[in-house]
Structure formats: C-alpha cells, structure tokens
Amino acid sequence: MGYLNNATRVLDAILTRKGREILSRGGDFTVTKFALGDDEIDYGLWDTTHAQGTDYYGAVIEGLPALEPFNDPSEIMKYKLVTRSEGTRAMASLFESAGSQTALDGLKWYSDDNEASRIQIGPVPSGDLFTNIQLGQGVDCGVQHTPNVGFGAIDLQGGIGSIFEEGYLNEEYTLTLLDTTVAVIAPVNVSTGLPALPKNRIPLGTMDEMWLPFVKTVQHISQTITGCLVDQSGTFRSSAGSEFGNQEGKIRVYPKRIAENSSPAKTSLLITGETSGATKEFTVNITYTAGSPS
C-alpha cells in the first residue's frame, strides 16, 4: 500500500503473495494493522542553508516522488517508522549470528538420490500424504541483538527503567520463509539431526501444522513459524521444544528438490522480533549440484 498524490487518489494498494494466499482460502481483505516507512526519503537533502529560511529546509525532500506499492516485502519497508518511549537513545536492531548467511547461501540439492544427501519425511502414519517426501540437508541460522548500551540505551539489558524491564535477551521471533517451493523451515530433533516428526499421531500438533503442510506444497506460498527463540550458540530453536521430545529443538532451513535448469533457486527468510519489532532478512540460495556430499 502506498500514499500517492492526493489530488487524484490518496492510497493505492496491491495484494502481496501472502494476501493472495489468504484470499484464496476465502479470507477477507480487511486492514487491521499497518506500518509506515520512509524508504524513498534521503535526509541528506535537508538543507539548513536554504536562502529562503527554515520553511524551505525540507523543500527538496517534500518534492521527492512517492514509491508505488510493492508486492514483495523484501523490497520495501526496510526503514519502518516506529514509536518508542521518551528517553530511548538507541533503536533495537538485529545482526546475523556467525555464519548464518554463509550457511543459507550454501544450501544444495544433490543429484545423487542416496541417504547421504536426503532426509525422508514419513510415514506419519502409513498412507499419510507426507510419506516418503524427501528434503535436502538443512542448515542452522540465527540472529542476535545489537549491543546498544554504549549509546546510553538500556532496553537490550533490561532492568529498572528500561522500556521492557526484562529486555530483549529472551525475545521470541517470528520466522517467515517467502517461497516454500524451494525450501521449508522445520524444527529438529537434536538426537537424530532430522526434522522432528511425531509418529502415528492424528491429529497433528500445533507446531507440526506450522511446517508439515509446506513440505509437499508446490504453490508459491509463504511459511511462518512464531515463538522461536535464539539459543546460546546464536541459532533459532522452537520454544515449543517439549512437543518434540527435546527442549533444544532447533529450527533449520531445508532445501526442496530443484531441477538443474532452475538452479540457483532463491527466496528470503524474514525475521521479526516479537517484542522489539526489530527485523532482519536473509537470502536463501539453493544450488543444484552433481554427485553427493563429500
């Protein structure tokens, strides 16, 4: 959605992939929340030397063209306008945990169909739609909060007087993978290193419903898992770990089958702090590779 010249129309809106997905399931188009951004603004154009005085300091900025709406959330709203409590001295921001982007750049689908390069999903139970679906080897990724105490901020550390008394150290995150035709995010059973998969259970549990349906899908739809934590190693894990028999069940990105002529396949993984509102975007690259893992 974008603001346009109000002499013609004030707002222009187009549906994102997620919006079209909701409508296809019979949902309604009702705006309940919105965010504002200033991606197209160059504040370096603020001119305090303008000959006509203070009323004209921002004249050039006010004359900048407004961007048309985008339907790809990875291309717009990278600089959202937010409200923070009086006295905030530094915004919460996220940075990549060591090696996360490198791992997501290195995802591969190997041409040899063997146990070394495949993870088989199923049966859950025998005859279920997910039986014998295969994924490639997954990778961990994660984020950390930028230390901001040096800027006089105390919101990261928490404590009396902070914006949130418990700080952001134990914040939960929402993970959204934009295109599940090329990859899927799933929690891991640490003891096996495989996606956590309940055996012979109907109906599926809440966390299962967040990832199992996306294993088989061939539609360009997004996948979202909420309530994720970051462990001491800086990687995502499910806060509902007890459902998988292990409290440290990590969240991994698994490549799906791609053809050689569609390599590399790309999508994005969007991270949002559920308390801070801080965001981070990772690029996910899957490459078709001859042979098997060495």
pLDDT in tens, 66-109: 777 666 666 666 667 777 667 666 777 888 998 999 999 999 98
User: Do the domain assignments include residue 160?
Assistant: yes
Give the pLDDT score at 243: 45
**Average pLDDT score, the chain:** 75
User: Do the domain assignments include residue 78?
Assistant: no
252 and 143, same domain (yes or no): yes
User: Do the domain assignments include residue 121?
Assistant: yes
User: Do the domain assignments include residue 74?
Assistant: no
8 Å CB contact between 88 and 26: no
Q: What is the pLDDT of residues 173-201, one digit of tens each?
A: 999 999 899 999 988 765 554 555 543 34
User: Do the domain assignments include residue 218?
Assistant: yes
191 and 102, same domain (yes or no): yes
User: Do the domain assignments include residue 284?
Assistant: yes
Give the pLDDT score at 53: 87
Give the pLDDT score at 81: 72
153 and 277, same domain (yes or no): yes
Residue 51 burial (10 A CB sphere; 0-12, 13-18, 19+) = exposed
121 and 18, same domain (yes or no): no
118 and 51, same domain (yes or no): no
Give the pLDDT score at 253: 92
Tokens of 228: 């994720």
28 and 87, same domain (yes or no): no
Give the pLDDT score at 177: 92
**Number of separate domains in the chain:** 2
Question: String of b and e for 55-75 (b: at least 16 CB within 10 Å)?
Answer: eebeeebeeeeeeebeeebee
> By residue range, what is the domain housing residue 268?
83-289
Q: In 3D, which of 180, 168, 175, 190 has the Cα closest to residue 241?
A: 190
16 and 128, same domain (yes or no): no
271 and 162, same domain (yes or no): yes
pLDDT < 50 positions in the chain: 125-126, 193, 198-203, 241-247
User: Which 8-state DSSP code applies to residue 250?
Assistant: B
49 and 163, same domain (yes or no): no
User: Do the domain assignments include residue 180?
Assistant: yes
35 and 104, same domain (yes or no): no
152 and 25, same domain (yes or no): no
276 and 178, same domain (yes or no): yes
Give the pLDDT score at 246: 46
Q: Are strands 143-145 and 173-177 parallel, antiparallel or unpaired?
A: unpaired
User: Do the domain assignments include residue 75?
Assistant: no
